[in-house]
Amino acid sequence: MNKIKVGVNGYGVIGKRVADAVESQDDMELAGVCDVSADWRIRVAVEKGFPVFAFDDASDQRMADAGVGTSGTLAVMLDGSDIVVDCTPKKIAAQNIEQYRSRNLKFIVQGGEKHETTGHSFSAENNYGTALGRDSTRVVSCNTTSIVRTLTALKSAGLLAKARGTLLRRATDPWESHLGGIMNTLVPEKEIPSHQGPDAQTVDPELDVITAAVKVPETLSHLHYWNVQLTRTSTSEEVLEAFASSTRTAFIKYSDGLPANNTVKELMLSLGRPYGDMYEVAIWEDMVKVVGDELFYAYLVDNQAIVIPETIDAIRALTGIEESAERSIEKTNKTLGIKTRFLG
Amino acid sequence: MNKIKVGVNGYGVIGKRVADAVESQDDMELAGVCDVSADWRIRVAVEKGFPVFAFDDASDQRMADAGVGTSGTLAVMLDGSDIVVDCTPKKIAAQNIEQYRSRNLKFIVQGGEKHETTGHSFSAENNYGTALGRDSTRVVSCNTTSIVRTLTALKSAGLLAKARGTLLRRATDPWESHLGGIMNTLVPEKEIPSHQGPDAQTVDPELDVITAAVKVPETLSHLHYWNVQLTRTSTSEEVLEAFASSTRTAFIKYSDGLPANNTVKELMLSLGRPYGDMYEVAIWEDMVKVVGDELFYAYLVDNQAIVIPETIDAIRALTGIEESAERSIEKTNKTLGIKTRFLG
Amino acid sequence: MNKIKVGVNGYGVIGKRVADAVESQDDMELAGVCDVSADWRIRVAVEKGFPVFAFDDASDQRMADAGVGTSGTLAVMLDGSDIVVDCTPKKIAAQNIEQYRSRNLKFIVQGGEKHETTGHSFSAENNYGTALGRDSTRVVSCNTTSIVRTLTALKSAGLLAKARGTLLRRATDPWESHLGGIMNTLVPEKEIPSHQGPDAQTVDPELDVITAAVKVPETLSHLHYWNVQLTRTSTSEEVLEAFASSTRTAFIKYSDGLPANNTVKELMLSLGRPYGDMYEVAIWEDMVKVVGDELFYAYLVDNQAIVIPETIDAIRALTGIEESAERSIEKTNKTLGIKTRFLG
Amino acid sequence: MNKIKVGVNGYGVIGKRVADAVESQDDMELAGVCDVSADWRIRVAVEKGFPVFAFDDASDQRMADAGVGTSGTLAVMLDGSDIVVDCTPKKIAAQNIEQYRSRNLKFIVQGGEKHETTGHSFSAENNYGTALGRDSTRVVSCNTTSIVRTLTALKSAGLLAKARGTLLRRATDPWESHLGGIMNTLVPEKEIPSHQGPDAQTVDPELDVITAAVKVPETLSHLHYWNVQLTRTSTSEEVLEAFASSTRTAFIKYSDGLPANNTVKELMLSLGRPYGDMYEVAIWEDMVKVVGDELFYAYLVDNQAIVIPETIDAIRALTGIEESAERSIEKTNKTLGIKTRFLG
């Protein structure tokens, strides 16, 4: 079988991870990575031996000046790609789309873009099938991905009536925390409901979900607290079983010495995960609480990593190289080392 | 009328504020402050001209060595007091109580102690009357005080069915943030429901309230997010009117340039509040949202200041110098400069 | 004697403090404060009863829309002023100067501006006399002010050969730490020497001083570490005596329970200082160390407050209402409560 | 050749890295790791297939209860070891030493212990030779290691007269930042000189070095600022050449987009380093400044990683399996991927 040639446009937080993930799939090959940066970031791509492309002539010149050799500009990369994953910063992808469309090139955008840019929003365990053979899709954002995964699990078990969440958002990513973060403060998002609830509904309109969000002064991961109205009286055992039906939701235990997101990060690093990435939604198993027909739980979302497996699955769905959601997910999980239990 | 002589045992975060607040009441006088510290903290009390007492002989010696003159030890202060407010660290007050009881001295403990230590838990707008003439009471904690104030307002308006809250707790106080805080992490409390819900019920058993709590890396104030099931479909206007029935709940506006707790702190400092203290629960007026029969809102709790007016009222209730909750609250509000609108 | 009418252009971190300080001088009166903001900040000025002016017609309209009544625009305020203190953001003052000059209005700019904008840089204890009767001066920045104060003291005692400093700079001010700070990182300034050394030389060209600076993730104050080559072998006692010759350098003691800048901030709040402001350079007395002919010490700089007394003195110098540096400084110190020992 | 059997006592921040590093040497094998913990930390060792030992019978029981199978207690591990690296927490190693000595087992302690515990302090590029065949040595601490490496390079080039440093210390390690850090504050060490200067002299008594240290609220790495009196007028080129003589000092460039320690951490993660570890002292090449006969520079110290290569070299020196410092260092550098330039 011919491998699918994947171009990655934008070599930032998401793009560099997508490139690595593509490299580890036996049914894909990396056509190249494309960026505007001429600093240490793109030089790491050179170090890794990736074909490097410049976003435009100006970038190409800057890279040349910085001693970064390229294989050409974006157009050249697109010529050699069967599909492109756009990982450029929020709102930029919308401007690139015309170029993809005019080449009849399949493409994936990330969650910073609007649903309307592709007309389809993707979350593998929920709606892989509806993306099969499409020209394009949007992998929903980190927060939304975590919401869809967990609520889909509750819904599939017939337990979900409505879900209300409070989302503590990391203020900025670790590598750019010198550029602008928040210090010794908390910054609520003005609008309640925040956008993540409606965003989850672009994947699954049946989800009754309302969220409020607040920025907190840390860089490691998001932390969600949920209060769910169940369809009936239940137990924590039944809820845990429901969550376990997702292959991308892993349990952690407070009593294992994992009471905070910094220790969970260290666990990921200790397990040898690249960047200490956690692709799974990490639910505190021993914090899950059912009171009558109400459910309470909290989980962590690694905002840099969680959408990577979704993106790999989206590549398979759009290109049709794998018709079965289950098989694609299993393959992705295996190659990325995704687990439902991190230890033992 | 003779002024009530108030002794303050423990001159820390709460004690120093209680002492200042007592000083500003025309029906009270400060019998003295008592502490174990011999450092800058107690020397500020000397600077203010307060009668200073040492907790015990050992403390007295240490203070003497540090050049801090005292008026004797705790026993002497208690001899000169009509009532004592115990502001010693969590769990210590429980050990002091026997001494108060053996003198037939009325006393108030703070929210770190258990309800059982006094058998009565106090929040002025909710249950002032039940504390009248009692020997002792417990002023509930900062978080609980904010919960009781806001939910009492909703309950009084006939709107409250049940309330579910997510509490973001400041990790430590600003002055002791060099001794131990949390850095670049989030630390959930393991138990859901957290203790604040049941604690609110020690004041008002009718409140249907469940909370989850998480420590966040900042020092300024707590931030609560609430999802309330109303008794019926309502509007944000109706809810705001209900909140306005509390004289210790003030509205702030995101659109006034107050989108975060650090700016609210600066507003308090700008208004000349001592320590930048905010005695009020500050509700973001323009974030209050009603969706059908569900209510969403967020507010700030100044954990160092919010219980101060409650403590002043509790002094009046126990000693019986004011039988009317309304009049005591009004007097306290006036002397401390408590407002329902901070500007204009 | 007629009071000097002082206009304050820019009601931000510095402007609001200058306005308060002017109000407390018996030889000055506040002509008004002027700003572009229409939010809570300017409304605090209204609350204080200050005459409020809008920077321009657009600002005036925005203030009107926000319900903030003004007494006119900047031009009107300048008409009623004998001198204007420009406290607008960095680099903006340079654009306002022409307006001041065309009115023959004396003016003061802050340390964010270049020395060339006025041709004179001011630090009261060093060069008050050279500013007498000038049209304008620049009060040097917070860091530079602290450097000039402390090194002038060492120089006056004949002890200073050369000084090398490492400056830990607070990343942002507390009230704006939601807008952009740094998180879990340290950001060196690229250039060594950093600009503060040469800046100190604009006040006193004889100072041999080189600095390096680094931004640290906190908001409270700057912290300077110094290594000084003395002119000869000395002792810590002699050095402390030299520092004590400055009336704006106060000693703090680590052993008094003041081991960090957050506790020093709390001490200021406890002493009732507005905003918890510290006008003094706070030198840790028990950290001062002399090794042979080398001196090591560390101090704190309250970047929001330290230039306020300098500005008040500069007003007196330019307007000539007080010819003696010593008397102006003494008057300012008294009105602002400036001390060489905070306790006892 | 028989491989040296290395036991690692203490599987924490240092111990787990030493174990990994030992595993990657072809002249060593891991006899096992020993700890008291029964939580996720030791379970990672199980996951890696390391022989796991319990510190004592009580630990063994706790591990058994937690489902962690061990190969016995410390004594068993020591029986199977040719040398033991003690990585237990500060001051604990001193208590273990008698046990090592009574077995005539060679041992290494870490920098938290005193020089006197072994009578020899080790830093590979400075004094490998003096450790050859000894029974024991102490690998000096992270800060001291960086000081000895950089000053040895200047000394070897005949440039070093005296060095004065300001050390910004990360407040706590990332994984334990939920247990106790500092928030929005700076905490100077009371004593100047701080202990690192004298500590460097335990390795090389000829170094004229004085340091001051301050804790800063971040977790990533230490940052040192230096002011060095050179033996003569020099240039930055000459200084850079001197630093380049160390194989464990790498240059980074501010102008490569690396202006802060968080970006340098991300670079390490991007290069696939385990834990994002940086074994090298990272000197900002474009910040090095020479003014006459004075030198100024700043560098980063990864406090979790920098002593790992030193420990590997110390194993070779004590056991005598490699007599040449140069060859041991080269071998260690190669296996750990240590570089003098990170990119290109």
Distance CA D136, CA A116 (A): 68
Tell me the two tokens of residue C159: 């002890």
What confidence score (pLDDT) does residue D91 get? 86
By 3-state DSSP, what share of chain C in percent is helix, strand and coil, each rounded to 5? 40, 25, 35
Q: Determine contact: C65 vs chain B, CB below 8 A.
A: no
Q: How far is B42 from chain C (nearest CA, A)?
A: 10
Determine the average pLDDT of the residues in D303-317: 98
Distance CA D307, CA D111 (A): 9
Residues 6+ apart with CB under 8 A from B195: none
Determine the average pLDDT of the residues in B192-202: 97
Determine the average pLDDT of the residues in B282-305: 98
Smallest Cβ–Cβ distance between C186 and the set D190, D254, D261 belongs to: D261
Backbone φ and ψ for A23, nearest 5 degrees, come out as: -60, -30
pLDDT, tens digit (0-9, with 9 covering 90-100), for A23-66: 999 999 999 999 999 999 999 999 999 999 999 999 999 999 99
**Any idea how long chain B is?**
344
Q: Percent of chain D having pLDDT more than 90? A: 98
Tell me the two tokens of residue D123: 């830093």
Probe site for chain B from C255, C270, C341 (most B CB atoms < 10 A): C270
Residue of C nearest to B272 (CA): C274
Alpha-carbon dihedral D134, D136, D141, D144, rounded to 10 degrees: -30
Q: pLDDT confidence of B1, banded at 50, 70, 90?
A: low
Tell me the two tokens of residue B241: 């009117």
Tell me the two tokens of residue B200: 């609110």
Under DSSP, the state recorded for D26 is T
Query: Quick check: D289 and D230 in contact, CB under 8 A?
Result: no
Q: pLDDT confidence of C2, banded at 50, 70, 90?
A: confident
Greater confidence, C1 or A174? A174
- Please determine, for residue D18, whether its predicted confidence score (pLDDT) is greater than 80: yes
**H/E stretch holding D296:** strand D294-301
The single-letter code of the amino acid at C227 is N
The residues of B that are catalytic are 142
Query: Quick check: D234 and D290 in contact, CB under 8 A?
Result: yes
**H/E stretch holding B296:** strand B294-301
Nearest by Cα to C187 from A183, B180, A269: A183
Which CATH code of 3.30.300.30, 3.30.390.50, 1.20.1740.10, 3.40.50.720 fits the domain covering C4-140+307-336? 3.40.50.720
* Chains contacting B (3 or more CB pairs within 8 Å): A, C, D
Query: Quick check: A212 and A294 in contact, CB under 8 A?
Result: no
Q: How far is A219 from chain D (nearest CA, A)?
A: 11
ipTM rounded to 2 decimals: 0.96
What confidence score (pLDDT) does residue D1 get? 62
Q: Go through C56-82 and write b for each residue having 16 or more CB atoms within 10 A of its CB, e for each that does not.
A: eeebbebbeebebebebbbebbbeebb
Q: Reduce the DSSP state of residue A28 to 3 states and report it.
A: strand
Residue of D nearest to C181 (CA): D184
Distance CA C268, CA A37 (A): 47
Distance CA C85, CA C95 (A): 14
Q: Determine contact: A219 vs chain C, CB below 8 A.
A: yes
Nearest by Cα to B144 from B14, B328, B307: B307
Residue D87 bears catalytic tag: no
Distance CA D73, CA B344 (A): 72
Q: pLDDT confidence of A91, banded at 50, 70, 90?
A: confident
- Please determine, for residue A344, whether its predicted confidence score (pLDDT) is greater than 80: no
Q: Which CATH superfamily is domain C142-301 in?
A: Dihydrodipicolinate Reductase; domain 2 (3.30.360.10)
Smallest Cβ–Cβ distance between B267 and the set C40, C256, C258 belongs to: C40
Q: Determine contact: B266 vs chain C, CB below 8 A.
A: yes
pLDDT, tens digit (0-9, with 9 covering 90-100), for D325-339: 999 999 999 999 999
Peptide bond into B193 cis (omega under 30): yes
Smallest Cβ–Cβ distance between A257 and the set D40, D275, D276 belongs to: D40
Determine the average pLDDT of the residues in D123-146: 98
Catalytic residue chosen out of the listed positions D6, D124, D142, D213: D142
Query: Quick check: A284 and A297 in contact, CB under 8 A?
Result: yes
**CB atoms closer than 10 angstroms to residue D69:** 8
The conformational region for residue D232 under phi > 0 = left, psi -120 to 50 = alpha, else beta, is beta
Residues 6+ apart with CB under 8 A from B93: B10, B86, B109, B110, B112, B113, B117
Q: How far is C329 from chain B (nearest CA, A)?
A: 24
Residue C64 vs residues B206, C9, C51, C69, C72: alpha-carbon distances, Å: 47, 19, 15, 6, 11
Residues 6+ apart with CB under 8 A from D339: D250, D280, D333
pLDDT, tens digit (0-9, with 9 covering 90-100), for C310-331: 999 999 999 999 999 999 999 9
Probe site for chain D from B170, B178, B220 (most D CB atoms < 10 A): B178
Tell me the two tokens of residue A77: 């990369």
Q: Reduce the DSSP state of residue D158 to 3 states and report it.
A: coil
Q: How far is A269 from chain D (nearest CA, A)?
A: 5
Q: Determine contact: A192 vs chain B, CB below 8 A.
A: yes
The single-letter code of the amino acid at C340 is T
Q: Where are the alpha helices (DSSP H) in chain B?
A: 13-23, 40-47, 57-65, 74-79, 93-102, 124-131, 142-156, 196-203, 236-244, 261-270, 307-319, 325-336
Contact C178 B260 (CB under 8 A): yes
Residue of D nearest to A63 (CA): D256
- Please determine, for residue B178, whether its predicted confidence score (pLDDT) is greater than 80: yes
Probe site for chain B from A168, A173, A186 (most B CB atoms < 10 A): A186
Contact D166 C166 (CB under 8 A): yes
Distance CA B147, CA B209 (A): 9
Q: pLDDT confidence of B120, banded at 50, 70, 90?
A: very high
Smallest Cβ–Cβ distance between A182 and the set C178, C187, C218 belongs to: C178
The residues of A that are catalytic are 142
Distance CA B33, CA B52 (A): 5
Q: pLDDT confidence of C1, banded at 50, 70, 90?
A: low
Q: What is the CA radius of gyration of chain A?
A: 20
Query: Quick check: D192 and C284 in contact, CB under 8 A?
Result: no
Alpha-carbon dihedral A97, A102, A108, A109, rounded to 10 degrees: 0
- Please determine, for residue D126, whether its predicted confidence score (pLDDT) is greater than 80: yes
Mean pLDDT of chain B: 97
pLDDT, tens digit (0-9, with 9 covering 90-100), for D63-80: 999 999 999 999 999 999
pLDDT, tens digit (0-9, with 9 covering 90-100), for C208-259: 999 999 999 999 999 999 999 999 999 999 999 999 999 999 999 999 999 9
Q: Go through C298-330 and write b for each residue having 16 or more CB atoms within 10 A of its CB, e for each that does not.
A: bbbbbbbbbbbbbbbbbbbbbbebbeebeebbe
Q: Determine contact: B287 vs chain D, CB below 8 A.
A: no
Contact B267 C47 (CB under 8 A): no
- Please determine, for residue C344, whether its predicted confidence score (pLDDT) is greater than 90: no
Catalytic residue chosen out of the listed positions C42, C142, C207, C268: C142
Contact C168 D164 (CB under 8 A): no
Contact C218 D220 (CB under 8 A): no
Residues 6+ apart with CB under 8 A from C323: C132
Probe site for chain D from A39, A186, A254, A270 (most D CB atoms < 10 A): A270
Residues 6+ apart with CB under 8 A from C148: C123, C125, C126, C140, C200, C203, C204, C207
Tell me the two tokens of residue D327: 């060859």
State how far Cα B261 lies from the chain centre: 18
Contact A343 D41 (CB under 8 A): no
Nearest by Cα to D290 from D182, D94, D154, D89: D154
Smallest Cβ–Cβ distance between D174 and the set A266, A343, A344 belongs to: A266
Nearest by Cα to B313 from B282, B299, B334, B341: B334
Contact C181 A181 (CB under 8 A): yes
- Please determine, for residue A1, whether its predicted confidence score (pLDDT) is greater than 90: no
Tokens 């992490």, located at residue: B185
β-strands A136-139, A121-122 pairing: parallel
Residue C237 vs residues A254, A297, C226: alpha-carbon distances, Å: 54, 61, 17
Residue C275 vs residues B79, B309, C174: alpha-carbon distances, Å: 37, 22, 11
Residue of A nearest to B290 (CA): A192
Contact A181 C178 (CB under 8 A): no
Q: Reduce the DSSP state of residue B116 to 3 states and report it.
A: helix
Distance CA B209, CA A80 (A): 59
Greater confidence, D91 or C297? C297
Q: What is the CA radius of gyration of chain B?
A: 20
Residues forming beta bridges with residue D298, ordered by sequence position: D225
Tokens 């906190």, located at residue: C218
pTM (global) more than 0.95: yes
Q: Would you list the domain boundaries of chain C?
A: 4-140+307-336, 142-301
Q: What is the CA radius of gyration of chain D?
A: 20
Give D-chain residues touching A67 at CB under 8 angstroms: 344
Q: Percent of chain A having pLDDT more than 90? A: 98
What confidence score (pLDDT) does residue B344 get? 75
